[in-house]
Amino acid sequence: MNTPENQPAVQFGIFSVSDITADPTTGHTPSEAERIRATLEIAKHAEEVGLDVFALGEHHNPPFWSSSPTTTLAYIAAQTERLILSTATTLITTNDPVKIAEDFAMLQHVSGGRTDVMLGRGNTGPVYPWFGKDIRQGLPLAIENYNLLHKLWREDVVDWEGKFRTSLQGFTSTPRPLDGVAPFVWHGSIRTPEVAEQAAYYGDGFFANNIFWPKEHFQRLVSLYRQRFEHYGHGTQAQAIVGLGGQVFMRTNSQDAVREFRPYFDNAPVYGHGPAMEDFTEMTPLTVGSPQQVIDRYAGMRETFGDYQRQLFLIDHAGLPLKTVLEQLDILGGEVVPVLRKELMANRPADVADAPTHARLVAAAGGAREARPRANRGDNLTAGTPYQDTPAPAGSAFGAAAARQGA
């Protein structure tokens, strides 16, 4: 039975950025169809080796294929039984929050609650005008759009007015969230303190995707999030919900891992032809070596960031062939994650929050309730009286920013 008690307190999984990259050792560049099929196989194998989460990014430009992650995740949901399906990231700036509300509520239903969402602004500038948005409004868009998304999942009938989209009067987003509980939201960031503030304001999770920069940078973001989480009255700093990104490549012999991964590192789309692999692994969480080296490195994350709830690894990028990625999953699930589970749970304080799941959210809400939306007032007309939001708590820097943007 899928109860809160039999779900892990710390979740481990993988995330994919969906790049289509030539294998530098063979010269083979997979087709879109080949890469998509490989990703589906990777996700299913993640469950088979005992991982908890598969997350998929959103991109709308080559060399990436994942423009519709909810479609892909829904297919994976039908092929799996317990894997939590997430995004990494959903673009809160260029997607319509109404469509996000609908898509992820539907994914909740078809997956039996095995879904959450990671929101972010993205790091590809041209995507903004492609969807009729202005990149200079990135942060205000993120603030206003999430304010609306948050309401759509929690209020059966919504009146709303903002700056960046048409108003809503008597609007009901369908389907309603499964069991009356919205999908859990992570706010993902690699550099922006305002995103950490936004996560804290709503009492949501904060995901620090620390794969590119030194840990001290992300340590500051996580610390800010924890402080503000407590400030807004959601719990103590220790009870804040933190997720971390990571990146590994493993072989039994560390020298074999270094030798095999080097050409992929040197030609990777993001950091290839840049710093030496040794320098990059020293400065970031990228760990290329034996399973024990990975265990030692990631067990130490607890000392840097405090007790946290989710650890995701990037293992399928830079042209690595499917066979190699599946081997990495075997090592991760068979040798690394079982040890890390024990390490991160050892002497874990009782007041630290467990990883969010649908069952835990339902239990915290006092049990499931049947969604019975009232009839729409005005038949979902997109005009009407401006919605005035509840004022933010005193001293709320984020609340002030939200008010300035009409969120």
Whether 392 has a pLDDT exceeding 80, the answer reads no
Summarised one tens digit per residue, pLDDT across range 21-32 is 999 999 999 999
pLDDT, position 335: 98
Of residues 337 and 59, more confidence is placed in 337
Which of 168, 216, 165, 146 has its CA nearest to residue 398? Answer: 146
Two structure tokens written together for 222: 């996580």
Q: Which amino acid does the sequence have at 71?
A: T
pLDDT attached to residue 176 = 97
Q: Note the pLDDT tens digit of each residue in 223-232.
A: 999 999 999 9
pLDDT for residue 399 is more than 50: no
Q: What is the mean pLDDT of the chain?
A: 87
The distance from CA 49 to its chain's CA centroid, rounded to whole angstroms, is 21
Alpha helices in 112-241 (DSSP H): 127-130, 138-154, 193-202, 215-231
Sorting pLDDT into bands at 50, 70 and 90, what band is 398? Answer: very low
pLDDT band at 192 (very low <50, low <70, confident <90, very high): confident
pLDDT at 207: 96
Burial class of residue 93, CB neighbours in 10 A (0-12, 13-18, 19+): buried
Give 313's strand partners.
14, 246
Residues 6+ apart with CB under 8 A from 256: none
204-241 tens-digit pLDDT: 999 998 777 788 889 999 999 999 999 999 999 999 99
Largest CA distance in the chain: 67
Strands, E, within 214-254: which ranges?
Answer: 242-250
Q: Assign 186 to helix, strand or coil.
A: strand
What does the pLDDT average to over 127-148? Answer: 82
Q: What is the mean pLDDT of residues 159-169?
A: 94
Q: Which tens digits make up the pLDDT trace of 244-254?
A: 999 999 999 99
Average pLDDT over residues 53-80: 91
pLDDT at position 370 is 60
Mean pLDDT for 197-210 is 94
Which residues have a Cβ under 8 Å from the Cβ of 93 and sit 6 or more positions away? 121, 122, 128, 133, 138, 141, 142, 145
Query: Per residue, what are the HEC states of 101-125?
Result: HHHHHHHHHHHCCCEEEEEECCCCC
Q: Is the distance from CB of 202 to CB of 194 less than 8 angstroms? A: no
Residue 371: per-residue pLDDT: 52
Determine the Cα–Cα distance for residues 222 and 23; give it in Å rounded to an integer: 35
**pLDDT value at residue 384:** 31
Q: Are 148 and 161 in contact (CB under 8 A)?
A: no
Residue 171 near residue 384, CB atoms below 8 Å: no
Dist CA 313 CA 332 (whole Å): 9
Mean pLDDT, rounded, for 63-84: 94
Report whether 85 contacts 115 (CB < 8 A): yes
Given pLDDT bands bounded at 50, 70 and 90, which one contains residue 36? Answer: very high
CA distances from 337 to 194, 243, 307, 329 (A): 32, 15, 16, 10
283-340 pLDDT per residue, tens: 999 999 999 999 999 999 999 999 999 999 999 999 999 999 999 999 999 999 999 9
Residue 217, pLDDT score: 86
CATH code for 4-404? 3.20.20.30
- pLDDT value for 389: 35
